[in-house]
Amino acid sequence: ADAPLRLLIAAFAVMVPAATAQPLMPNAWLSLVFVALTTLSIAGVTAAGIIALLDIAPANARGQIVALYYMTISITGLGLGPT
């Protein structure tokens, strides 16, 4: 029952050091490895949110809740992102 929280903690534990170490790498290839780790970790954090929503949503509303979640994060990203 606590799998989304464990996924979130594990992905965050990988994301923070990888994102911090990435600009400190001595060459571009090593930096690219840390960019890939950071990107995969961000995907894990995002997936944990969807899993948690699906755990609490009633079966007949799951599709609408996921659509609303993705719409919310997309609009927020467009509003806060660079113009």
Which stretch of DSSP H or E encloses residue 8? Answer: helix 3-21
Instruction: State the Cα–Cα distance between residues 71 and 10, nearest whole angstrom.
Output: 26
Looking at residue 83, its pLDDT comes to: 67
pLDDT at 34: 96
Q: What is the pTM of this model?
A: 0.72
Q: Average pLDDT, stretch 8-19? A: 95
Query: pLDDT, tens digit, for every residue of 27-37?
Result: 999 999 999 99
- What's the CA gap between 50 and 11, in Å, rounded? 14
